[in-house]
Structures are given as structure tokens and as C-alpha cells.
Amino acid sequence: MLTFENFDLSTNIISAIKELGYENPTPIQEKTIPHLLNTNQDLVGLAQTGTGKTAAFGLPILEQIDPRNKFTQCIILSPTRELCMQISKDMMGYAKYLPEIRVTAVYGGASIDNQIRDLKKGSHIIVGTPGRVLDLLQRRILKINQIKFLVLDEADEMLNMGFKEDMDAILETTPKEKQTLLFSATMPKEIRNIALNYMNNPEEISVGTKNSGADDVEHFYYLVNAKNRYLALKRIADINPDIFGIVFCRTRRETQEVADKLIQDGYNADSLHGDLSQAQRDHVMSKFRSKHLQILVATDVAARGIDVNDLTHIINYNLPDEREIYIHRSGRTGRAGKKGVSVSIVHSRELHKIREIQKILKKPINRKDVPGGEEICHKQLMNMISRIEKIETIDNQIEEFLPEIYEKLSWLSREDLLKRFVSVEFNRFLKYYKNAPDLNISEKSVNERTRKGRGIDGDDNRFEKKGYKFTKFFLTIGEKDGLTKVKLMEIINNDDRLAGAEIGKIEILKGFTFFEVDARLENEVIKAFNNKRYLGKRLKIEVKTGQPKRNSDRPKSSKSGKSEYGYSKKHESGKSKTAYSKGARTGGRKRS
Ligand code: AMP
């Protein structure tokens, strides 16, 4: 087996990583480290999070930084503040015995003045989010015209987050002679284009099969009625008493609702999403990192950059629309050689998504039955018994109370005593799961119902539009600005506040656009669009007041002229909210 001594790394670096407990290089390190040490060729690395890619590029880059030269020699672009902080912390750890090398992290959401002060001291390696890096370049604080290395980390995430233009602008200012490294968990066309446009004949390496999930992750799904999602989630938590995982939801609102209900039902859960302040997010993350929190309910955007090993479960409360997002979510477990499970709670109309995801995952996602009450009670009981077996007793402090306890309980038999001790915590489970219904639905019945043209869930009909009120918006860009329906949907779905929102009619005209969104999200839509830029053009958005005109005098769609009422991608999330808010609230338990 290879060790780090097999590479041409200096003893300073080897000592530092030994202290971090790294014994043998991971597969991506085996491939990347010698490549970077021995060649100037660009590199595209297809690798999931958790594969050890930070050290894969970090160690050979540190080896080649010249500390006497004060210029910035390496810039690492990364999608989120959390990832930037993580990477710079890792780099500083690897450089523990190279004290003259300076690493600075720059990211949005934090004071730019402090970062400017840091940069003015000179920094060999910059780790930054694209927006903040561009800002600092434009202020001429940051200079990257002499860099030797450019790293694009989690490049697909940076594109998903809308950083394409910022990245283009940054890349323009880098020197021609440099080594560019691009790491991505998935390889969509847009990433290939970056490799083509900005890289010079890159070597391509991948760990595992392309676009596949980590090998240590087992994938399965539960098929339930949409209205039973939350009940299924509770059963998943109950059948896994030692769960330490993330539940992914689509919208901030749904995230908060699911977390609130879990907390109310006695679970050790909390939420992470964009409506929380940075301080609140930091607080939740520190509870989660230190394992004082078992279940983190999060949106995809907020969970980016979470670097927590040992997660036992990833739970997809809803399946994401993009298959790549599933890969990202499930890649958060099964890390650093540990086994993990990625579970999806799926309702009838999401089955096709499971098939789609399997295609890129190149692994089966098998169905499992949602556990029934008896199975859960048995599991909980045995878990409690083994906790009792393992618990450490503080004998010298308990002993003085023992005579009194013996006396008080002397009338009980050993069997009665056991029953009573167990019941203290267990009665709630027995009561909650007594006569608990079977939540599973059969795939056969799904197919039959679908053939007959009815939804399996009475309250979850894709074509059912009743009950939604839409607000109509006027947006100051249109077809001539390159906007299409798909792009507009992308902007909406990529915004954490709006992902999964109910969308009504979209009309893209030459110079402007009308579209409808669930009226409850009016303010969020305005925040998401106003003063943002689309392909360089500043956006203005307004609520269109007054009744929409009728068909005859409505502006015609620029392409077909047809009415486009009913354009909607995601009815499930809105509906399931009403469904689970009616659901049972009993059961659960307090966890320490
Ligand atoms: P990364 O993919 O860079 O986020 O790394 C994932 C986790 O694996 C981090 O906690 C690293 O500290 C750890 N790690 C990276 N390389 C090694 C290694 N060779 N041996 C043990 N742990 C490692």
C-alpha cells in the first residue's frame, strides 16, 4: 500500500499530515499528487466530496509555493463561505511546519475590510467565493496576475449557484502560464465547456465511475402517499435510534415546517436554511458538528459546504429535480471509509425520478418497506436494553441511596421491576404505534391508478390547480435578452427561497416577461429578482396589478402564441405541506 513517503513531498508536509492522522493516500490523492508534482498539465478531477481532494491538490501546491516571493501564487475558487473556511483551515493544517506560507480566505457575508487588511499583508494562497474574489479584484486589492495555480473546486456547484459570469471574469484576469485544476462531482455539459474554453489539454482523472455515488453508500426508497411523507420520516428516525443525518427539503418553508414538527414530536432536530442569520446557522452547525444534534433538516443551498464525516443517513424528504443534486446529497454520507445510507421518501409520481437517478448513479436504488409499529417498537426496546447494559454507573454516589430504593421497591418482583423501568421511556412508543397503519403503497396500485388517469393521493393531483392563488409579475427582460422558460425556471429553482414554488403561466415576450408564482411567495420573488443581473443586464421586477386580460387581448407568447396556463413543475411540495400539517402529532420521544 502506498504511503505519503512514496511521493516527493518535503518532510515538513509529511509531518503535518501524519499529525492529522493521514496514513495512506486516498485514490484521488494517489492520482493527483504525482501529477501535480511532476507535470504542468491541467487536470480535471471527477470526484465527490469527502474523497480527500483538498489534500490531493493542496499538498503538491504547498510543495511548490515559493515563500520568498510575496505575490499570490495560487487561487482556489469554491462555491460557499463554509467550504472556503474549510479549505483554508485544511491548507493551514497541511502548512503547519511551513509557517512562512500565508493562506487567506475571502468570502461574502463577512466584513470585506478585515479581508482587505489580511490581503494587504500579502498572501501566497487565496481561497475565495467567486463573488467576493471578483469584488476584490475590481477594487484592485487582490492581484492574481502572477499565479501559478488556479483551482476550481466543486465547479458544478459554482455553476449551479449562478457564478458562471463571475468565474469567467476572474479567469480572464489570470495569466496564460498557469496550471488549472478543476474538480467536480458531476460532469454536465457546462463543465465540459469550461474545461474546453479555459484549460489546456487537461488530463482527466476520476475516482469511482463517472457520476456515480460513493461506493460506501447504500441507496433505497420508501413508496408512500404524499400526505404520509412526514409520518414516514418519523418511522425512519424511529427505526434508526442512533441516526445522525441530514433531511433534505426543497424550500425554506418546508425545511422549517419539518424541523418544527420533529422538534415538537420530541426529536433532536433543527433546521438550516437561508432565512436564518449567519449566527443562527453557525450555532446549528456547531451543534451538529459536535453531534449534539441528531437530525439536521436543510435546504440544498444551506447544506452546501457541510463537511461532517460519520453521517449515518441522508434522507431525501423530496427527490430533487436535478439528478446531480441527488448525487451531491448522497455524497455527504459514506465518507472517509464509513458506510452510509441514502434514503428517499417517494410518492407515486416521483417513481420515474428514481429510475432517472439510477441511470447516472449506475447503482440500484431498491425499494424498502416503511417499517411497521411492531418492528419499530422491537428495535427501540432492544436499543434501550443495550443502552442499559452499557451504561456506566457511578457506584459511590448511587450507593448511599440504595437502601431507601430497596425498601421502596421491595414489594415488586424482579420481572415487575424490569417492566416498569423499561416502560418509563417505552410506553410512548407503544401507545403511538398501537394500531399504526401500514404506510406502504404498492407499485401495482400506483400503475393502475395512473392508467385510469387518477392520482393515487386524493390531495396530490398534478393537474389540480384549485386552491392556488398566483401573483403575476412583470420582469424587464425577455427573449431578446436570452431568457427562455427553462432559464426562468432555473433562476427560480436555483433560489433557495423559491425552489419548489408553484409556478403558473409564463409568457416570454421580446423585451419583457410575465410570469405567475404562488401568491404567498410574492416578497421572496421580488427579493430573488430585483436588482440582480441576468447576462449582465440589471433586472427590475414588479407585481402586475389588475386582472389578467382574457385570451383574446393577452399578449401572445413569442414562440407559439399559445396560452401557457398550467405550466408547472412541482405541485407535490405545496400539496404535501397541507397534507402533513393534518398528520398525526403524537409519539416520538425526547432524546438527550
Ligand atoms: P475532503 O474530500 O478534502 O473534504 O476530505 C474529506 C475528509 O477526509 C477530511 O476530513 C480530510 O481531513 C480526510 N482525509 C483526507 N485525506 C485523508 C487521508 N489520506 N487519510 C485520512 N483522512 C483523510
Helix axes of 252-264 and 571-581: crossing angle, nearest 10 degrees:
20
In a domain? residue 442: no
Ligand 1 center from residue 336 Cα (angstroms): 6
What is the rounded distance in angstroms from the CA atom of residue 574 to the CA atom of residue 254? 9
Query: Ligand 1: which residue has its CA nearest to atom 1?
Result: 52
Ligand 1 center from residue 211 Cα (angstroms): 20
What is the rounded distance in angstroms from the CA atom of residue 511 to the CA atom of residue 320? 32
In a domain? residue 191: yes
Last residue of a domain, which of 321, 351, 372? 372
Phi, psi of 296 (to 5 degrees): -105, 120
Position in ligand 1 atom list of the atom nearest CA 50:
2
Which residues line ligand 1 at a C-beta cut-off of 6 Å? 22, 25-26, 29, 49-55, 307, 309, 336
The alpha-carbon radius of gyration of the chain (Å, integer) is 27
What one-letter code names the amino acid at 101? Answer: I
Q: Which residues contact 572 (CB under 8 A, 6 or more apart)?
A: 226, 318, 347, 349, 350, 460
Q: What angle do CA 33, 58, 109 make, to 5 degrees?
A: 150
Q: Do 467 and 394 share a structural domain?
A: no
Domain range holding 404? Answer: 374-433
Q: Which residues contact 39 (CB under 8 A, 6 or more apart)?
A: 203
Query: Ligand 1: which residue has its CA nearest to atom 6?
Result: 50
User: What does pTM read for this prediction?
Assistant: 0.51
Q: Do 201 and 240 share a structural domain?
A: no
Q: Do 259 and 183 share a structural domain?
A: no
Give the per-residue pLDDT at 150.
97
Ligand 1 pocket, mutate which of 54, 62, 127 (most atoms under 8 A from CB): 54
Give the per-residue pLDDT at 239.
93
Sign for the pseudo-dihedral over CA of 114, 120, 123, 126: positive
User: Is 93 within 8 Å of 57 (Cβ atoms)?
Assistant: no
In a domain? residue 122: yes
In a domain? residue 447: no
Q: Do 155 and 40 share a structural domain?
A: yes
Q: Which residues contact 135 (CB under 8 A, 6 or more apart)?
A: 112
In a domain? residue 141: yes
Last residue of a domain, which of 389, 414, 433? 433
What is the rounded distance in angstroms from the CA atom of residue 490 to the CA atom of residue 188? 15
Q: Do 283 and 160 share a structural domain?
A: no
Ligand 1 pocket, mutate which of 2, 17, 154, 307 (most atoms under 8 A from CB): 307
Give the per-residue pLDDT at 562.
30
Q: Do 378 and 368 share a structural domain?
A: no
User: Is 97 within 8 Å of 322 (Cβ atoms)?
Assistant: no
Q: Do 125 and 8 share a structural domain?
A: yes
For position 49, which CATH number holds? 3.40.50.300
CA-based nearest residue to 180, from 165, 190, 166, 170: 170
Position in ligand 1 atom list of the atom nearest CA 86:
4
What is the rounded distance in angstroms from the CA atom of residue 455 to the CA atom of residue 450? 6
**What residues pair up with 204 in beta bridges, in sequence order?**
44
Query: Ligand 1: which residue has its CA nearest to atom 22?
Result: 22
Q: Are strands 217-223 and 269-272 parallel, antiparallel or unpaired?
A: unpaired
Q: Do 571 and 504 share a structural domain?
A: yes
For position 574, which CATH number holds? 3.30.70.330
Give the per-residue pLDDT at 209.
40
Q: Do 410 and 385 share a structural domain?
A: yes
In a domain? residue 439: no
What is the rounded distance in angstroms from the CA atom of residue 173 to the CA atom of residue 76? 14
Position in ligand 1 atom list of the atom nearest CA 23:
20
Ligand 1 center from residue 53 Cα (angstroms): 7
What is the rounded distance in angstroms from the CA atom of residue 177 to the CA atom of residue 146? 9
In a domain? residue 253: yes
What is the rounded distance in angstroms from the CA atom of residue 477 to the CA atom of residue 513? 6
Ligand 1 center from residue 335 Cα (angstroms): 9
Question: What per-residue string of b and e applies to 318-329 under the rule 16 or more CB within 10 Å gives b?
Answer: bbbbbbbbbbbb
Q: Do 358 and 239 share a structural domain?
A: yes
Q: Do 39 and 179 share a structural domain?
A: yes
User: Is 311 within 8 Å of 333 (Cβ atoms)?
Assistant: yes
Ligand 1 center from residue 51 Cα (angstroms): 6
Last residue of a domain, which of 372, 397, 424? 372
What is the rounded distance in angstroms from the CA atom of residue 149 to the CA atom of residue 91? 14
In a domain? residue 482: yes
Ligand 1 center from residue 380 Cα (angstroms): 34
Ligand 1 center from residue 159 Cα (angstroms): 24
Position in ligand 1 atom list of the atom nearest CA 54:
3
Number of domains in the chain: 4
Q: Do 382 and 367 share a structural domain?
A: no
pLDDT digits (tens), the chain, 592 positions:
789 999 989 999 999 999 998 888 988 999 999 999 999 999 999 887 778 899 999 999 999 999 999 999 999 999 888 889 989 999 999 999 999 999 999 998 788 999 999 999 999 999 999 999 999 999 999 999 999 999 999 998 888 778 888 999 999 999 999 999 999 888 888 888 888 888 999 999 887 543 334 567 889 999 998 889 999 999 999 999 999 999 999 888 899 999 999 999 989 999 998 888 888 988 999 899 999 999 999 998 888 767 787 889 999 998 987 777 888 888 888 766 677 899 999 987 788 888 888 877 878 888 999 999 888 888 888 888 888 888 888 888 888 899 999 999 989 999 998 888 888 878 888 888 888 888 988 766 655 554 444 333 333 332 233 356 889 999 999 988 888 887 887 788 767 677 667 778 888 898 999 998 888 888 889 988 988 888 878 899 999 876 544 333 333 333 333 322 222 333 323 333 222 222 333 333 333 3
Ligand 1 center from residue 341 Cα (angstroms): 20
DSSP SS3 for 212: coil
Phi, psi of 268 (to 5 degrees): -85, 80
